[in-house]
A = this chain, B = another copy of it.
Amino acid sequence: MELLKERIRKDGIVKDGNVLKVDSFLNHQIDVKLLEEIGKEFKRRFADCDINKILTIEASGIGIAVEVARAFGVPVVFAKKSKTKNIAGEVWTSKVMSYTHGREFDIIVSKDFLGKNDKVLIVDDFLANGAALEGLISLVKDAGAELCGCGIVIEKGFQPGGDSLRNKGVRLESLAIVDAMDPETGEITFRE
């Protein structure tokens, strides 16, 4: 998605440790017009799928998911991060390792809002190691729902999450795949 790549080149900031800061337009301050175009692009890419639910994870996925859901005319469900040890039986739950925070947490979705009649598109802002996406996919499988695919705004192509999911047969669409970033020069190389 050229509009997105241009924006990342213009406003993205490359930091040491493979960090790409896009918090001026995607995940702290949000450019809602860009989000709207992102929603339309995912609708275009998954137009052949009979999607009836968008699934994401709090917090930075929610804004994106809302605009994708508007493009499809379907509801959003967002998984919650939980520190609760004992989780009641009315939720689907999965464990996710956070590399950013260096700890494992549970993600939960109420069984009322994810079930066997759902055809699900999972969306999120970033894909790096793929831990969050694997957790969300696990919730979809446990619920007996159908996974139509995953839509990612920015994939870090030099980290293993994307290729690992593709190798498992997951239909994954990333709007921008960053293959290399240089914190010295700020240069960002996108996959063609």
Residues of A whose CB lies within 8 Å of any CB of B are 23-25, 28-33, 35-36, 58-59, 62-63, 65-67, 69-70, 73-78, 80, 109-110, 112-113
Contact of A63 among B23, B25, B66 (CB under 8 A): B66
Q: Which residues of B contact A73 (CB under 8 A)?
A: 32-33
Chain A contact surface mostly: mixed
Q: Which residues of B contact A28 (CB under 8 A)?
A: 77-78, 80, 109-110, 113
Interchain CA distance A188-B32 in the complex, whole Å: 34
Q: Which residues of B contact A30 (CB under 8 A)?
A: 65-66, 69, 75-78
Q: Which residues of B contact A69 (CB under 8 A)?
A: 30, 32
Q: Which residues of B contact A65 (CB under 8 A)?
A: 30, 63
Interchain CA distance A80-B59 in the complex, whole Å: 9
| Contact B59–A78 (Cβ < 8 Å) | yes
Q: Who on chain B is nearest to A27 by CB? A: B78
Contact of A59 among B59, B75, B113 (CB under 8 A): B59
Known: A28-B110, A29-B113. 12 other contacts (CB 8 A): A23-B113, A28-B113, A29-B75, A29-B76, A29-B110, A32-B69, A32-B76, A35-B66, A59-B80, A62-B62, A63-B65, A66-B67
Q: What is the CB-to-nearest-CB distance from A16 to chain B, in angstroms, rounded to a whole number?
A: 16
Interchain CA distance A188-B129 in the complex, whole Å: 46
